[in-house]
């Protein structure tokens, strides 16, 4: 860990044109935008994703592979064998977990093992990336400013942690993203109720609801596994949410974009409007952790910018691409181009920034919130005008909301008492409600 190299990958690993395999299990729009950006740079793009995914509607993807929910490792291995990619791009934590497991099952030095390391970074850094408490403790030990966090497996653990954290506090569960699995608490009784709720094993009723209503089969495997989720409590930082996305190679940051979150889909949820900023502490924190973990590929970092001082407190790390990944904002702020150049050794192609407006409106997430916000009138709308088929698809309701049962439940609203407010775990937020980059949890 901590190894930094500026060497290009072995020539034998690069095809002409190079191929990227984009992997996603959540129906997030930004995944198709990453495909468009790679294709614009001359890469062949293939994808592995479920039915109805935006990646299946973009002209950038040459071939899609099925992502079998009950056999995810086999599905990934088959897609890699067929695509022969230079690079893998995971787009959610579930995919990242699958790739970690696949690496553990693959003999060292095998082509698949080398591909995963080339795409994600050093295996020694894999474990903490999917464990919130461990990741925050590693960050603090590395000397960066981070909101302290404690594991809370029992009521006594929670009481001891709250004595250190104080109120308000944030309870979080591993294996979630898009703002799911995060609960603010303001008192001891509320905190214990949240701990119990977040720590529950996934119930069969929830897994079946996600399958039958949302048409999402991926919760079935966590339900069959039956493992209790890991819960932690984190010190609350009063301030404004912010995110950083980096492209990196063997512990070296190649490009980064830092933003302040201006609007979210729901409180504590995914960002819909952001402002590009310069923030030295955010950039340095990302660089320290990328170097410490030996990361490669794309990685997101979530912060709170403290009221009054603007100090950047790290609150989470998202070891995957985010809605900032595809943006081309000029030298040093074009993550896909920077990573593609390092992998091919051909040098980054000069491209003009897509906008000089610092306010970025994520499409279609912000549009679905309604046109009343002034931000929608003044910001740059990140719309895929160059891909009419994808644009039409994204203008429709999200795939998980199109099923008959989903539409009936939406019309009936809370009268059905379906328990839809219960936090999800081990499989992130409901796919139709998260965009992949959170104001507090991405």
**Tens of pLDDT along 343-354?**
998 766 657 899
Cβ atoms of residues 25 and 95 within 8 Å: yes
Structural domain includes residue 318: yes
Cβ atoms of residues 399 and 215 within 8 Å: yes
* Same-domain pairing of 379 and 423: no
Instruction: Name the β-bridge partners of 242.
Output: 260, 303
List all residues 6 or more positions away from 80 whose beta carbon is below 8 Å from its beta carbon.
21, 88, 112, 115
Place of tokens 């603007």: 310
pLDDT higher than 60, residue 13:
no
Structural domain includes residue 140: no
Residue 252 belongs to what domain range?
239-404
* Same-domain pairing of 219 and 261: no
Helix/strand/coil (H, E, C) string of 32-78? HHHHHHHHHCCCEEEEEECCCCHHHHCCCEEEEEECCCCCHHHHHHH
* Same-domain pairing of 413 and 384: no
Binned at pLDDT 50, 70 and 90, residue 422 comes out as: very low
Place of tokens 């992130």: 428
- Choose between 439 and 58: higher pLDDT: 58
Cα 173-178-182 angle, rounded to 5 deg: 35
End-to-end CA distance of the chain: 25
- Choose between 12 and 210: higher pLDDT: 210
Return the percentage of the chain with pLDDT > 70, whole number: 89
- Write down which residue in 79, 104, 121 finishes a domain: 121
Give the domain CATH number at 191.
3.30.1490.20
What is the total count of domains within the chain? 3
Place of tokens 């660089």: 287
* Same-domain pairing of 284 and 385: yes
* Same-domain pairing of 258 and 392: yes
Structural domain includes residue 442: no
* Same-domain pairing of 37 and 182: no
pLDDT of residue 349: 62
User: What share of residues in the chain are helix, strand, coil (percent, to 5)?
Assistant: 35, 20, 40
Tokens of 99: 């790739």
Give the domain CATH number at 65.
3.40.50.20
pLDDT higher than 60, residue 432:
no
* Same-domain pairing of 43 and 107: yes
Instruction: Report pLDDT digits (tens) over 152-166.
Output: 999 999 999 999 999
Structural domain includes residue 130: no
Structural domain includes residue 132: no
Q: Which long-range contacts (CB under 8 A, 24 or more apart) does 110-116 make?
A: 112/77, 112/80, 114/13, 115/13, 115/80, 115/85, 115/88, 116/88
pLDDT of residue 414: 52
Binned at pLDDT 50, 70 and 90, residue 326 comes out as: very high
Structural domain includes residue 168: yes
List all residues 6 or more positions away from 96 whose beta carbon is below 8 Å from its beta carbon.
90, 120, 129, 130, 319, 320
pLDDT of residue 433: 42
* Same-domain pairing of 351 and 377: yes
* Same-domain pairing of 389 and 292: yes
- Write down which residue in 121, 156, 172 finishes a domain: 121
pLDDT higher than 70, residue 129:
yes
Cα atoms in the 13 Å half-sphere on the side-chain side of 31: 32
* Same-domain pairing of 223 and 267: no
* Same-domain pairing of 361 and 421: no
Cβ atoms of residues 338 and 329 within 8 Å: no
**Low-confidence winner among 24-28, 169-173, 355-359, 433-437 (lowest mean pLDDT):** 433-437
Structural domain includes residue 139: no
Sign, Cα dihedral of 342, 344, 346, 352: negative
Give the domain CATH number at 346.
3.30.470.20
* Same-domain pairing of 86 and 28: yes
Instruction: Report pLDDT digits (tens) over 88-115.
Output: 999 999 999 999 999 999 999 999 999 9
- Choose between 71 and 8: higher pLDDT: 71
Phi/psi of residue 294, each to 5°? 65, 40
Structural domain includes residue 359: yes
DSSP string, 118-156: HHHB-GGGHHHHT-HHHHHHHHHHTT--B--EEE-SSHH
Place of tokens 């809605």: 323
Q: Can you tell me the distance from the alpha carbon of 231 to that of 419, in angstroms, rounded to the nearest whole number? A: 21
């Amino acid at each position: 860990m901590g190894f930094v190299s500026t060497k290009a990958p072995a020539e034998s690993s690069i095809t002409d044109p190079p191929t990227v395999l984009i992997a996603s299990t959540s129906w997030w729009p930004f995944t198709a935008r990453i495909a468009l950006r790679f294709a614009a740079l001359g890469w062949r793009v293939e994808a592995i994703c479920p039915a109805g995914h935006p990646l299946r509607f973009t002209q950038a993807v040459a071939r899609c592979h099925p992502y079998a929910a009950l056999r995810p490792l086999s599905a990934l291995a088959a897609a890699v064998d067929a695509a022969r990619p230079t690079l893998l791009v995971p787009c959610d934590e579930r995919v990242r977990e699958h790739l970690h497991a696949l690496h553990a099952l693959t003999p060292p030095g095998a082509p698949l093992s080398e591909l995963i390391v080339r795409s994600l970074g050093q295996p020694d850094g894999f474990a903490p990336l999917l464990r919130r408490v461990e990741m925050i403790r590693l960050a603090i030990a590395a000397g960066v400013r981070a909101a302290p966090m404690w594991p809370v497996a029992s009521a006594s653990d929670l009481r001891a942690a709250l004595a250190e954290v104080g109120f308000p506090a944030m309870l979080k569960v591993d294996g979630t993203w898009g703002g799911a699995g995060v609960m603010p608490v303001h008192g001891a009784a509320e905190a214990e109720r949240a701990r119990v709720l977040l720590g529950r094993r996934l119930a069969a009723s929830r897994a079946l609801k996600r399958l039958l209503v949302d048409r999402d089969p991926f919760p079935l495997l966590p339900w069959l596994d039956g493992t209790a989720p890991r819960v932690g409590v984190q010190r609350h930082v009063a301030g404004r949410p912010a995110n950083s996305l980096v492209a990196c190679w063997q512990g070296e940051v190649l490009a980064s974009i830092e933003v302040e979150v201006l609007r979210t889909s729901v409180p504590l949820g995914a960002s819909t409007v952001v402002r590009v900023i310069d923030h030295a502490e955010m950039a340095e924190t990302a660089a320290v952790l990328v170097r410490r973990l030996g990361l490669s590929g794309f990685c997101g970092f979530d912060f709170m910018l403290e009221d009054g001082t603007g100090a950047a407190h790290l609150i989470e790390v998202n070891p995957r691409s985010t809605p900032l990944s595809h943006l081309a904002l000029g030298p040093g702020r074009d993550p896909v181009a920077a990573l593609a150049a390092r992998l091919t050794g051909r040098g980054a192609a000069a491209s003009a920034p897509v906008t000089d407006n610092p306010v970025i409106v994520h499409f279609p997430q912000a549009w679905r919130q309604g046109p009343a916000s002034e931000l929608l009138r003044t910001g740059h709308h990140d719309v895929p005008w160059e891909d009419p088929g994808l644009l039409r698809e994204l203008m429709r309701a999200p795939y998980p909301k199109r099923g008959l049962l989903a539409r009936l439940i939406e019309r009936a609203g809370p009268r059905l008492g379906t328990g839809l407010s219960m936090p999800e775990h081990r499989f992130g937020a409901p796919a139709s409600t998260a965009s992949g980059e959170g104001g507090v949890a991405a």
